[in-house]
């Protein structure tokens, strides 16, 4: 896995690169907004961006990465107040880490994001990246972007397919609403909350007789389960 590090302080940049290299990652390095826009061409799997860069802010870079690529971003900042964190997420950050950070926690956050984003869930993605995914009576075919329920084809619109795939990929786990908003809509949950609820309702109707259910943890998120396994969700 390749990680792009964007940090204005060369000493800190080298320390971060050595840390990640020791833990099995490859790194590409940039010390400014302009350098980062070039380093993106190396197609990293994730970017770690300092919020203070010598030419532009790290949040501006985060917004640019979000607009032009599908690369997940961790913003690193010395600003720990809630408003600063909120600005980071509004800029499109997948995670926000405050200094000083606990190194094993940073590594855990990196691995969690990489695990979630092995497939980019957008209709523009190469469909062959999906393959096939089965959960109970549901069979999702990425090559056709289609759903079969007990062998019967069921039409899904592109975002319905992406949402169902994401939930089925994380079966028996509650997926937070914020995560779904960022990865499927590339937006803050406050902007797409109603749309998410509508898509969940549509999917529930389409898989109603499949023996599979989408459960809600109110105010938190959603999880897909076998009807007989509801107890697996918290």
Between CA 108 and CA 226 the distance in angstroms is 29
Give me the CATH code for the 2-116 domain, please. Answer: 3.40.50.2300
Domain ranges of the chain: 2-116, 127-232
What confidence tens digit (pLDDT) does each residue in 118-173 have? 544 333 343 334 578 889 999 998 777 889 998 899 999 888 998 998 898 888 77
Between CA 122 and CA 44 the distance in angstroms is 18
Between CA 1 and CA 13 the distance in angstroms is 18
pLDDT score for 122: 38
Helix (H, G, I), strand (E, B) or coil at 150: coil
Per CATH, is 127-232 categorized as 1.10.10.10? Answer: yes
Torsion of CA 74, 76, 79, 85, to 10 degrees: 0
Comparing 2-116 with 127-232, is the CATH topology the same? no
Between CA 179 and CA 231 the distance in angstroms is 23
What confidence tens digit (pLDDT) does each residue in 78-125 have? 998 989 999 999 999 999 999 888 888 888 889 888 877 654 433 334
Give the dihedral sign, CA 141/204/136/180: positive
CB-based contacts of 68, cutoff 8 Å, min separation 6? 40
């Amino acid at each position: 896995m390749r990680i792009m590090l964007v940090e204005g302080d060369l000493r800190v940049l080298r320390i971060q690169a050595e840390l990640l290299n020791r833990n099995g990652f490859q790194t590409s390095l940039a010390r400014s907004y302009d350098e980062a826009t070039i380093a993106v061409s190396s197609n990293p799997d994730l970017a770690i961006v300092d919020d203070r860069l010598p030419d532009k802010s790290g949040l501006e870079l985060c917004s640019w990465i979000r607009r032009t690529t599908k690369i997940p971003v961790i913003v690193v900042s010395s600003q720990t107040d809630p408003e600063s964190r909120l600005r980071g997420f509004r800029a499109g950050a997948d995670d926000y880490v405050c200094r000083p950070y606990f190194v094993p926690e940073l590594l855990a956050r990196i691995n969690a994001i990489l695990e979630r984003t092995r497939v980019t869930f957008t209709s523009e993605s190469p469909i062959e990246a999906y393959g096939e995914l089965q959960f109970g009576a549901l069979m999702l075919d990425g090559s056709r972007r289609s759903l079969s329920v007990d062998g019967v084809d069921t039409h899904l619109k592109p975002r319905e397919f992406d949402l169902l795939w994401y939930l089925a990929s994380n079966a028996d786990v509650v997926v937070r609403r914020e995560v779904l908003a960022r990865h499927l809509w590339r937006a803050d949950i406050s902007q797409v909350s109603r749309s998410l609820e509508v898509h969940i309702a549509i999917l529930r109707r389409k898989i109603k007789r499949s023996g599979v259910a989408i459960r809600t943890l109110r105010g938190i998120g959603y999880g897909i389960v076998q009807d007989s396994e509801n107890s697996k969700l918290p």
